[in-house]
Amino acid sequence: GAVVSQHPSRVICKSGTSVKIECRSLDFQATTMFWYRQFPKKSLMLMATSNEGSKATYEQGVEKDKFLINHASLTLSTLTVTSAHPEDSSFYICSASRQDRATYEQYFGPGTRLTVT
């Protein structure tokens, strides 16, 4: 079945540094990828929709200059948390849309836990 990977699975960084998270669709091409963040016991929050070859669409309240999204190819989207602060510590999940057949399917990555110290 289709697989989406995220790298790294866990990362600890110091306040003020930047962190890049990769989301890859391993055996299909994904024209659209979604980025979410989640706090413990809370629901997922959609951050942005990433379309290959175009600028990401950010949800209201999400700082596009802080959370840089690049979807340079049909199998890779990256989320860069710039100048990270402790409040950016969270669980980040990506998902990828597969639409190369008659049906539309969605696959989720395993998530990346970011801790900013």
Partner 1 sequence: AQSVTQLDSHVSVSEGTPVLLRCNYSSSYSPSLFWYVQHPNKGLQLLLKYTSAATLVKGINGFEAEFKKSETSFHLTKPSAHMSDAAEYFCVVEDNNDMRFGAGTRLTVKP
Q: Which is nearer to partner 1, 14 or 40 (CB)?
A: 40
Q: Which is nearer to partner 1, 7 or 108 (CB)?
A: 108
Given a contact cutoff of 8 angstroms between Cβ atoms, the answer to whether 11 and 19 are in contact is yes
Given a contact cutoff of 8 angstroms between Cβ atoms, the answer to whether 96 and 36 are in contact is no
The candidate with the shortest Cα–Cα distance to 94, out of 9, 1, 11, is: 9
Q: Cβ 44 to partner 1, closest distance in Å?
A: 6
Q: Cβ 61 to partner 1, closest distance in Å?
A: 14
Q: Which is nearer to partner 1, 78 or 112 (CB)?
A: 112
Q: Cβ 115 to partner 1, closest distance in Å?
A: 11
Q: Which residues contact partner 1 (rule: CB under 8 A)?
A: 32, 34, 36, 38, 40-41, 43-44, 46, 49, 59, 91, 93, 95, 97, 99, 103-106, 108, 111, 113
Token reading at 57: 């669409």
Paired with 37 in beta bridges are: 45, 92
Report the alpha-carbon distance of residue 100 to residue 19 in Å, rounded. 32
Q: Which is nearer to partner 1, 80 or 99 (CB)?
A: 99
**Type of residue numbered 28:** F
